[in-house]
Amino acid sequence: MNAIEVKNISKSYGRVMALDDVSFSVGKGEVFGLIGPDGAGKTSMFRILCSLLLPDAGTASVDGFDVVGQMRDVRCRVGYMPGKFSLYQDLTVEENLQFFATLFGTTIDEGYDSIKAIYQQIERFKDRRAGALSGGMKQKLALSCALVHQPSVLFLDEPTTGVDPVSRKELWEMLGMLKERDITIVASTPYLDEVRRCERVAFLDHGKVRGIGTPEAILTEFSEVFNPKSLTPNNVQNGAASKEENIIEVEHLVKAFGSFHAVDDISFSVKKGEIFGFLGANGAGKTTAMHMLTGLNQPTSGTGRVVGYDIRTEYEQIKRHIGYMSQRFSLYEDLTVAENIRLFAGIYGMKDDEIRRKTDELLRQLKFEDHKNDLVASLPLGWKQKLAFSVAIFHEPGVVFLDEPTGGVDPATRRQFWELIYDAARRGITVFVTTHYMDEAEYCDRISIMVDGKIKAIGTPDELKKEFNQPDMDHVFTYLARQATRVES
């Protein structure tokens, strides 16, 4: 008997058809991928299978139980990690686990054996609030919460978005252990290496199943979606290397929280028009360093200048001359596309005539003319992120800081996003970017990699691969990140 049967499921939201006559099955104990671009209908499918959303038509069953007529039985048998972490940030690690155990009428002690291999990795932090955990630790806690009631089917909706490559590998190693216990796993992911870890995948696009088969068969058949033509580093070069002007200069920068040095004596410089990749595992200190460079936090010691201004004394001037796009999406979702553009342009002091002219240009460039009056909340994730980047450089800043800008975005949309980055660099805007996609690291002019608050390596992608004798940036990153010694925080 199959663990999951989906027959002719449809679901619409007003005029939007999220799922259109979808059918597939998943064998017991199978690792099955549900893949596709943003807005394909993956999350709606997960929610229907977890009995959290009613379909408009069709039927679906989990472990032989109908997701509509027998939803109580279904909920006892499924574990679910939604796309956004499902944890309560103000509760401790142990309190989160107790809460989820109670929801299913069990206890941590009763379910401990089923989560032991995963939970033991974070159990020493059981009194720490979930909001204070790194991405990798949150991931392990969320997985423990989904497994504490010993489900037979586990649904994972992009569980590794925003998590560094080493932590992603660790999660899939954990999933391998669960498969050995005959737990059925259905996962969605934008990472191709994770797609290849599935036994079979279903490709959803605009609510329809376009193909079901082995990962290699589907990735090959629909290569235009999953393997778009790579951007070559030669496209990035814009004369930046010949320009001697430094947009960012950092010397012996330190940020301490008590005795803990989140950033521990780093020094580097970034030139005008350069695309500079700032990499590191979760908890390595990247975001703390970025907050100092953008004027959001003050250093404990050391010096730094950004677009000519001192990060200690002139942080307000810095904020006016940079662009910033955070990993937690930075637009107002209850405003329209055009209203967001006007709002941020006004904040940066642009004049009304210039705002009107450049707004029309931007809408044409993004092909958003027909969507300028749409609420941002209604846009697909990829559209939101392209808009957020465009808004961040609308005032032509000297440098734009991008904190994991493409997290959770499909490969084709990521490529389009990087075309926008290249265009900005050609116009002389310096791009300072963090990312967990190592193929994106290959697109940067230079890269630094932080480990335990220090910069352990810096250079071009080719220089780093040669220095550490590794075939690609994923192997370089993993090699360095595994040398971390301080406790993840």
Give 453-467 pLDDT, tens digit per residue.
999 999 999 999 999
Rounded to whole angstroms, how far apart are CA atoms 367 and 407? 22
Three-class secondary structure of residue 354 per DSSP? helix
Q: What is the mean pLDDT of the chain?
A: 90
Count Cα atoms within 13 angstroms, Cβ side, for 166: 20
Residue 233 has what pLDDT? 58
- Percent of the chain residues past pLDDT 90, beyond the cut: 66
Q: Which residue, chain included where needed, has tokens 């790194």?
A: 134
- Band of the pLDDT at 234, cuts 50, 70, 90? very low
Residue 311 has pLDDT above 80, yes or no: yes
Between 175-179, 286-290, 411-415, 448-452, the lowest mean confidence (pLDDT) is in 411-415
Q: So what's the pLDDT on residue 489? A: 44
Say yes or no to pLDDT of 134 above 90: no
Distance CA 382, CA 414 (A): 8
Range in 255-264, 325-334, 412-421 with the lowest mean pLDDT? 325-334
> What mean pLDDT comes out for the span 7-22?
94
Q: What is the pLDDT of residues 238-283, one digit of tens each?
A: 444 445 689 999 999 999 998 889 999 999 999 999 999 999 987 8
Question: CA 304 to CA 8: how far, in whole Å?
Answer: 59
Place of tokens 């006007």: 342
pLDDT score of 470 more than 50: yes
Look at residue 487 in the predicted model and tell me its pLDDT: 54
Q: How does 431-450 read in b/e, with b if 16+ C-beta sit within 10 Å?
A: bbbbbbbbbbbbbbbbbbbb
Q: Bigger pLDDT: 117 or 129?
A: 129
% pLDDT > 70, the chain? 96
Please state, in angstroms and rounded to a whole number, the distance separating the CA atoms of residues 339 and 372: 8
Instruction: Please list, in sequence order, all residues whose beta carbon lies within 8 angstroms of the beta carbon of residue 458, skipping any fewer than 6 positions away.
Output: 268, 446, 447, 448, 449
Whether residue 352 is predicted with pLDDT greater than 50 in this model: the reply is yes
Quick one: pLDDT at residue 109? 92
CB 408 within 8 A of CB 82: no
Q: What's phi and psi for 39, nearest 5 deg?
A: 80, 15
- Candidates 112, 184, 107, 168; CA nearest to 135 is 168
DSSP 361-407: HHHHHHT-GGGTTSBGGGS-HHHHHHHHHHHHTTT--SEEEEESTTT
Main-chain dihedrals φ then ψ at residue 190, nearest 5 degrees = -90, -5
- What's the token pair of residue 209? 């199943």
Find the Cα–Cα–Cα–Cα dihedral 426, 226, 382, 374, rounded to 10°: 120
pLDDT(488) > 80: no
Is the confidence at residue 39, as pLDDT, over 90?
no
pLDDT at 95: 95
CA gap 393, 416 in Å, rounded: 16
Identify the band that residue 183 occupies on the pLDDT scale cut at 50, 70 and 90. very high
Residue 329 has what pLDDT? 62
Q: What is the pLDDT of residue 4?
A: 97
71 membership: H or E segment, kind and range: helix 71-77
328 phi/psi in degrees, rounded to 5: -95, 95
Question: Of 56-70, 124-138, 175-189, 290-304, where does mean pLDDT reach its minimum?
Answer: 124-138
Is residue 118 a contact partner of residue 145, using CB atoms and an 8 Å limit?
A: no
Q: Under DSSP, is residue 181 helix (H, G, I), strand (E, B) or coil?
A: coil
**Angle, CA 187 vertex, CA 184 and CA 191 arms, to 5°:** 140
Tell me what pLDDT residue 242 has.
43
- Residue 113 pLDDT level (bands cut at 50, 70, 90): confident
Q: How far apart are CA 472 and CA 282, in angstroms?
A: 20
